[in-house]
Structure 1
Amino acid sequence: MIDDVLKVFRKLDSKDLRILTGIEIGMKNFEWVPLEEIRKYTKLSFDKLEFRLLRLFRSNMVVGTKTPYEGYQIYFDGYDALALNTFVKRGSVSAIGDEIGVGKESVVHEAIREPELAIADPIPVIIKFHREGRTSFKRVKRVRDHLVDREHFSWIYAARLAAKREYDIMQTLYDKVSIPKPLDHNRHAIVMAPAKGSILVKTRLLEPEWVLDEILSQIKVVYSLGIIHSDLSEYNIFVSDEGVEFIDWPQYVTVDHPHADELLERDVSNVLAHFRRKYDLGKDMGEVISQIKEDV
Structure 2
Amino acid sequence: MKLDISHMRYMTADDFKVLQAVEQGSKNHEIVPTTLIHQLSGMRSMSGTNRSISDLAKLKLISKVRNAKYDGYRLTYNGIDYLAFHSMLNRNTVYSIGGSIGVGKESDIYKVSDKNGVEKVMKIHRLGRTSFHTVRNNRDYLKKNSKNGVNWMVLSRLAANKEYQFITMLYAKGFKVPEPFDNSRHVIIMELIRGFPMRRLRKHKNLPELYNNLMKFIVKLGCSGLIHCDFNEFNIMIKDESEIDPNDPTDVGFVVIDFPQSISIQHKDAEYYFKRDVDCIRRFFKKKLKYEPKDDPSMLDTDGFGDGYRYAYPDFHRDIERTDNLDELVQASGYSKKHPGDRYLEDAMEDMRNTEEEQEDDQENDEEDGEDVTEDDEDDNDEYYYSESEEEDSEEEYDSQEEENERIIEALSSGVGNLKMDKMGNYILED
2:315 equivalent in structure 1: 290
1:245 corresponds, among 250, 255, 259, to 255
Mapping 1:1-296, distance limit 5 Å = 3-4=3-4, 6-42=5-41, 43=43, 45-66=45-66, 67-115=68-116, 122-133=117-128, 135=130, 136=135, 138-139=137-138, 151-152=147-148, 153-174=150-171, 175-207=173-205, 208-240=207-239, 241=241, 242=244, 243-283=253-293, 287-290=312-315, 293-294=318-319, 296=321
What is the TM-score of this pair, normalised by structure 2? 0.61
| Cα deviation digits, residues 57-110 of structure 1 (max 9, x gap) | 221211112512222111111111111111111110111111111123111110
1:44 shift after superposition: 5.1
Q: Counterpart of 1:49 in 2: which secondary structure? A: helix
Paired AA for residue 64 in structure 2: G
Structure 1 residue 2, shift from structure 2 partner = 5.6
- For the residues of structure 1 that align with 2:320 and 2:232, how far apart are their CA atoms? 25
- Structure 2 residue matching 1:158: 3-state secondary structure: helix
Cα distance in structure 2, aligned partners of 1:164 and 1:292: 31
Larger Rg: 2
Greater Cα offset, 79-88 or 150-159 = 150-159
Q: Secondary structure at the match of 1:7?
A: coil
CA contact under 8 A between 1:196 and 1:245: conserved in structure 2?
A: no
Which stretch of structure 1 is more off in the superposition, 266-275 or 229-238? 266-275
Partner Cα separation in structure 1 for residue 290 and residue 182 of structure 2: 40
Do the aligned partners of 1:233 and 1:271 also contact (CA within 8 Å) in 2? yes
Question: Going by fraction, where is strand more abundant, 1 or 2?
Answer: 1
The amino acid that maps onto 2:200 is K
Identity %: 27
Name the SS of the counterpart of 1:10 in structure 2: helix
Cα RMSD over matched residues? 2.5
Partner Cα separation in structure 2 for residue 137 and residue 79 of structure 1 = 22
CA deviation string 1:200-242 (max 9, x = no partner): 1123332333322221121121112111000121111001244
CA distance in 1: counterparts of 2:274 and 2:163, whole angstroms: 18
Q: 1:236·1:247 contact (CA, 8 Å) conserved in 2?
A: yes
Preserved contact between residue 109 and residue 126 of structure 1 (Cα < 8 Å): yes
Query: Contact (CA 8 Å) 1:226, 1:255: kept in 2 or not?
Result: yes
Structure 2: gaps of 5 or more residues = 245-252, 296-310, 322-431
Cα shift at 1:283: 4.0
Contact 1:223 1:292 in 2 (8 A): no
Q: Which amino acid aligns with 1:8?
A: H
8 Å contact kept, 1:232–1:270: yes
DSSP-derived class of the 2:315 partner: helix
Aligned pairs, number: 285
Q: TM-score, normalised by structure 1?
A: 0.88
Q: Which has the higher contact order (CA 8 A, sep 6+)?
A: 2
- State how far apart, in whole Å, the 2-side matches of 1:256 and 1:125 are: 34
Q: Which amino acid aligns with 2:47?
A: D
In 1, the alpha carbon distance for the partners of 2:139 and 2:108 equals 17
Distance (whole Å) between structure 1 residues aligned to residue 120 and residue 139 of structure 2? 28
Between stretches 266-275 and 130-139, larger displacement belongs to 130-139
* Partner amino acid, structure 1, of 2:285: F
Structure 1 letter corresponding to 2:70: Y
How far off its partner does 1:47 sit?
A: 3.4
Q: Residue 149 and residue 230 in structure 1: after superposition, are their counterparts in 2 closer, same or farther (change >3 A)?
A: farther
Change (3 A) 1:293 1:73: farther
Give the aligned partner of residue 413 of structure 2: none
Matched residue type, 1:37: L
Q: Distance in 1 between matches of 2:267 and 2:70?
A: 43
TM-superposed CA distance for 1:48, in Å, is 3.1
Partner amino acid for 2:85?
Answer: L
Gaps of 5+ in 1: 116-121
Paired with 1:221 and 1:15, the residues of 2 have a C-alpha distance of: 50
Whole-angstrom CA distance in 2 between matches of 1:73 and 1:158: 16
